[in-house]
Homo-oligomer: A and B are copies of this chain.
Amino acid sequence: LVLGLDPDPAKLWPAAIESLDDAATASGQNLNAPGECAARAVAAHCRLVIEAAGEHCVATKLQLACFERLGAPGWQALGSVVAAAREHELLVLADGKRGDIDVSAAAYAQAFFGETPSPFGPVPGLDADALTVNPLMGRDSLAPFVTAARVAEAGIFVLVRTSNPGAQDVQDQPLAGQGTVAEALATIVHQLGADGVGSSGLADVGAVVGATAPDHLARLRELMPQTIFLLPGVGAQGGTIDSLRDAFAPGPAGGLITVSRGIVAAHERVGGEPAAAAAAEAERLRAGAWSLAA
């Protein structure tokens, strides 16, 4: 189970706002800029969610858009959430869906896996364990990510068949040769990962496969037998864990089910304290995932 964090400053847990007030009072600091305040509140919120539900998860997935919209303070908050995840022994998946020509892909790889040489010394990157990447620009746009991730003992998850309805517009289109665009992407993912298969039998190039379209799972698993599937779409987007059995063909580690709003906003459905509701929901989802993979 992966704990998805896509913090909206307008929907934070109340305790996050309160902790910010306390911290400001204690330090005598006067936080004026909305960006500063919102970023600190977002970081506090994410830390609380990790403390509540982290023990039921193996990783946290950070939606970069939610940090980026807060500017430089948001990027600072991102770093502090990564630190919180590390403290709780969670892997960190940066959900950025980046993709660009080789030289720019290499720059993104420096941002997430490596460091950037400069006349002032190397500038450290985010040190993520994995990044989601977009393969529309083809193999040479993915190669720098694969290379850098391998050096850093990290991984990437390539979009293959996403969880949103618009996946039909491009990814599900049938190709003239055979298969669909998503199946062609799956073949690229399988090939890129072939040189990075670890002792677990799983490759370091993963695939994002939406949990909302389980019909695709068996075929994509066939095309990518050694690939870890990152499975978003359970909960708010309508997917269910029970439908994901095909993803786990290579064993329990073959699939990572990522749930964001389903855990963080569990209290809106069941009532009670946000932290307790999130913990209970994470525990329930984890049990479901394991029974499926067993």
> A interface vs B, CB < 8 Å?
6, 8-10, 12, 17, 31, 34-35, 37-38, 41, 63, 65-66, 68-76, 79, 95, 97-105, 107-108, 110-111, 116-126, 134-142, 159, 162-171, 173-177, 181, 184-185, 188, 237
The 6 closest A-B pairs by CB, nearest first: A138-B166, A138-B169, A9-B118, A37-B120, A65-B107, A69-B111
Closest to A105 in B: B65
Task: Report how far A97 CA is from B175 CA in the complex, Å.
Answer: 24
Closest to A75 in B: B72
Q: A38-B123, A71-B79, A72-B73 are in contact. Are A138 and B167 (CB under 8 A)?
A: yes
Cβ–Cβ contact A170 & B41, under 8 A: no
Which of the listed residues A99, A124, A135, A164 has the most CB atoms from chain B within 10 Å of its own CB? A164
Q: A75-B71, A75-B75, A123-B38 are in contact. Are A118 and B10 (CB under 8 A)?
A: yes
Cβ–Cβ contact B138 & A136, under 8 A: no
Task: Please pick, from B120, B122, B176, the residue contacting A174 in the complex, using a CB distance under 8 A.
Answer: B176
Chain B residues with CB under 8 A of A12:
119
What is the minimal beta-carbon distance from A271 to any residue of chain B, in angstroms?
A: 22
Task: Report how far A68 CA is from B116 CA in the complex, Å.
Answer: 11
25 contacts between A and B (CB under 8 A): A8-B107, A9-B120, A37-B120, A38-B118, A41-B118, A65-B100, A65-B104, A65-B105, A68-B107, A69-B110, A71-B76, A75-B75, A97-B98, A97-B134, A101-B237, A102-B164, A134-B136, A137-B164, A138-B166, A138-B167, A140-B164, A140-B166, A170-B184, A173-B184, A175-B176
